Amino acid sequence: MVVAEVEGGFLRVGSAGTFSTEIIPGQRVLIHGKRPIPGIAVKPPDHCLPPDRDEGYVPLGAFLVDTGLSPRQLQSQVRIGDPITFDRMPIHLGNGVVAGPALDNRAGLAALTLALQSLDRSGHAWDIVAAGLVQEEIGSLGARTSAHADPPTLALVIDTTYGRSHAEAEHRTFPLGGGPSNGWGPAVHPAIHEQLRLAAEHLEIPLTLEPMPWYSESDADVLQLAGGGVPTGCLFIPVRYMHSPVEMVDVEDIRRTGTLVAEFVRGLGEAASRFLEQG
């Protein structure tokens, strides 16, 4: 987000959500001002940066966005508070693997869309509310308000999880192409976890248990607290290099997630109210 204009047509920026500043230098960006303005996010040369940098750490506030516009042009087109996004098209890497920005959580939206497309109206007993929620990255605010007025009987959060790359511990990451993960922990109702497991087994879709010992780090953390409490499940798609402009996903995992969500919904009948009762 644009937080200040500095001399010579440069912008200072702040962050909405978290990402590693190491990915910034040289990123093409779009400033969503009166019209989209292209620019480059840059790390100024060392002699322009604040001193005493801890282990080479450079705070986001020291980075700049260069638009190539004159200060006057910039003033007329960009305002403080304009959002900035990474300007990169998705890249098809072959074999169904795609890299690009915002796959967290457009991958989830794609899976939800697939699920809705594959559901026959007569095939499910329960009403489905498909919710595209806002401001998850800054505190699940959309989930908070959308579940308030009419809390659902049950909620399923479709989001992304850490896809494994060479640099991470195996127990905290999930391989691309290995199927979605099924959240397990205090944010998840155990019966929903079990129903998802059974549905995946029935469809022969690989599904990995994701231990979430404290928070789910998803909208589930607030959805389960809506109204008088909502039984909530978590289905997460592995995304590698999360919160970077080259997030990576296996499209097959998105497809499997959509299929699994549809199957789960079809299974919600008379009996469902009972499986939600905990012994």
Partner 1 sequence: MAPARLSRTPQRTHMALLRALTEAVGVSGDEGEVRRLVREHVEPLADEVRVDALGNLLAIRRGSARRKLRVMLSAHMDEIGLMVTGAEPDGALLLGQVGGVAPQHLAGKAFWVGKGRVPGVIGLSPPHLAGTVRAHRLTLDQLRLDVGARSRDEALKRVRIGDRAAFATALTRLGECVSAKALDNRLGVAILIELLGAAPPNIDLLAAFTVQEEIGRRGAGVAAHSLDPELAIAIDCTPARDLPTWDGAENTAYNSRLGQGPALYTADRATVSDRRLLEHFETTARAARLPFQYRQPGGGGTDAGSIHRVRKGIPAISVSVPVRYPHSSAGMIRIDDWRNTVLLLHATLARLSHETLTRTRRRT
**Cα–Cα distance between 176 and 252 in angstroms, integer?**
9
Task: Kindly state the smallest distance separating residue 245's Cβ from partner 1, in Å.
Answer: 5
Does the bond joining 182 to the residue before it have cis omega, within 30 degrees of 0?
no
Q: How many helices (H) and strands (E) does the chain have?
A: 7, 13
Task: Kindly state the smallest distance separating residue 58's Cβ from partner 1, in Å.
Answer: 7
Task: Kindly state the smallest distance separating residue 181's Cβ from partner 1, in Å.
Answer: 15
Q: Residues touching partner 1: how many (CB under 8 A)?
A: 70
**Which stretch in 117-125, 167-175, 256-264, 266-274 sits in contact with partner 1 by CB under 8 A?**
167-175
Quick one: residue 199, left, alpha or beta (phi over 0 = left, psi -120 to 50 = alpha)?
A: alpha
Specify the DSSP element, H or E, that contains 210: strand 208-211
Bridge-based pairing of strands 208-211 and 181-184 is parallel
Measured between alpha carbons, how far is residue 266 from residues 56, 115, 125, 203, 207 in Å? 53, 11, 7, 13, 18
5 near partner 1, judged by CB under 8 A: no
Task: Kindly state the smallest distance separating residue 46's Cβ from partner 1, in Å.
Answer: 9
56 near partner 1, judged by CB under 8 A: yes
Nearer to partner 1, 148 or 172 (CB): 172
**Cα–Cα distance between 18 and 41 in angstroms, integer?**
16
**Cα–Cα distance between 59 and 165 in angstroms, integer?**
25
Nearer to partner 1, 14 or 38 (CB): 38
Task: Kindly state the smallest distance separating residue 125's Cβ from partner 1, in Å.
Answer: 38
Closest CA to 196 of 153, 239, 256, 140: 256
H-only helix segments in the chain: 71-77, 103-118, 141-146, 190-203, 220-223, 251-266, 272-275
Q: Binding string to partner 1 for residues 199 to 238, with x set by CB under 8 A, is what?
A: ------------------x---------------------
**Which stretch in 114-122, 133-141, 172-180, 228-236 sits in contact with partner 1 by CB under 8 A?**
172-180
* Cβ partners under 8 Å of residue 23, min gap 6: 244, 245
Task: Kindly state the smallest distance separating residue 62's Cβ from partner 1, in Å.
Answer: 6
Q: Binding string to partner 1 for residues 66 to 105, with x set by CB under 8 A, is what?
A: xxxxx--x--------------x--xxxxx-x-x------
Q: Binding string to partner 1 for residues 21 to 50, with x set by CB under 8 A, is what?
A: xxxxxxxx---------xxx-xxxx-xxxx
**Which stretch in 65-73, 131-139, 205-213, 218-226 sits in contact with partner 1 by CB under 8 A?**
65-73
Q: How many CB atoms lie within 10 A of CB 202?
A: 11
Binding site for partner 1 (CB under 8 A): 6-10, 18-28, 38-40, 42-45, 47-50, 53-58, 62, 64, 66-70, 73, 88, 91-95, 97, 99, 162, 164-169, 172-173, 176-177, 217, 240-248
